[in-house]
């Protein structure tokens, strides 16, 4: 398989597939219950664990996608020295986090 394409044929960004990457998140909450993501880690296609610190949360909103309640965060973070903007989603019901897509 070519080095910049994953098993599903999706183009990779560095060592990352561009969509639906499950992550382990560390976040903070204020007194009103608002969630702020701080940093996360994930397993790369090469089976290594990478930790990423979120530099800025650009926006956040809550949506229902086909009946699934999710909180959507648009965040800025550094990946291998490059600043990336990504959409991270938190599923309220399953309590799971994922990188939904890279926007830049």
Going 70 to 74 to 79 to 84, the CA torsion angle's sign is: positive
Give every residue of the chain whose pLDDT is below 70, as ranges: 1-18
Tens digit of each residue's pLDDT (9 = 90 or more) over 28-56: 999 999 999 999 999 988 899 999 999 99
Per-residue confidence (pLDDT) for residue 3, from 0 to 100: 47
Per-residue confidence (pLDDT) for residue 77, from 0 to 100: 97
Per-residue confidence (pLDDT) for residue 42, from 0 to 100: 94
- Find out whether 21 and 42 touch, Cβ atoms under 8 Å: yes
Query: Tokens in use for 13?
Result: 């960004």
Coil, helix or strand for 33? coil
Per-residue confidence (pLDDT) for residue 1, from 0 to 100: 40
Per-residue confidence (pLDDT) for residue 19, from 0 to 100: 82
């Amino acid at each position: 398989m070519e080095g910049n394409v994953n098993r599903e044929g999706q183009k990779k960004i560095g060592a990352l597939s561009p969509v639906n990457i499950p992550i382990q998140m560390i976040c903070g909450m204020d007194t009103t219950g608002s969630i702020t993501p701080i940093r996360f880690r994930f397993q790369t296609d090469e089976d290594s664990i990478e930790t990423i610190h979120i530099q800025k949360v650009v926006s956040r909103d809550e949506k229902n996608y086909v009946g699934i309640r999710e909180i959507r965060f648009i965040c800025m973070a550094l990946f291998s020295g490059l600043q990336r903007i990504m959409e991270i989603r938190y599923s309220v019901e399953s309590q799971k986090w994922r990188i939904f897509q890279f926007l830049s």
